[in-house]
Structure 1
Amino acid sequence: NVIEKNVTGTVRVKLYKGNCTVVGVKSPLSLYDQAMATYDVGDMFDHSSAKGFIELWGLPLKIKAMRDKKKEQN
């Protein structure tokens, strides 16, 4: 299948009392990049971009809270 063409690697799992937990993954084609996932000086990712994303992602909750407050006042 073309979709799975780049799916390769190893997954480590822990099996304990009927539970299965992923404890590690490794792939030569991984999209994970340490420079994008850390908060160090010289990072590749501009962390100031997160502010707008967080505000936009939380907008529905903010609108709901405002609506609920208005509903309580009436």
Structure 2
Amino acid sequence: MYNYLLYVRKYSIFTNDYELYVYGVNTNDIFHTIGEFYYRSETKISRLVYVECTQQKLDFWAEQGFKIYRFFDKY
């Protein structure tokens, strides 16, 4: 379904702390996608990590109760 997962710690004004979000992307150029993610972000990002997407990782995040958001790369 996705080539990569982005683990992003973004600032939340509701909790006054950084929260973890998981994004799924389909791209051939992950570094361009990361740059576009920073550019299009509306909140402060403290950390962004990318990993290759596998079914085990998708299952793990589903078990932990995280929603995987889809990020559309305009490139």
TM-score, normalising length: structure 2:
0.24
| More contact order relative to length (CA 8 Å, sep ≥ 6) | 2
Greater percentage in helix: 1
Greater percentage in strand: 2
Larger Rg: 1
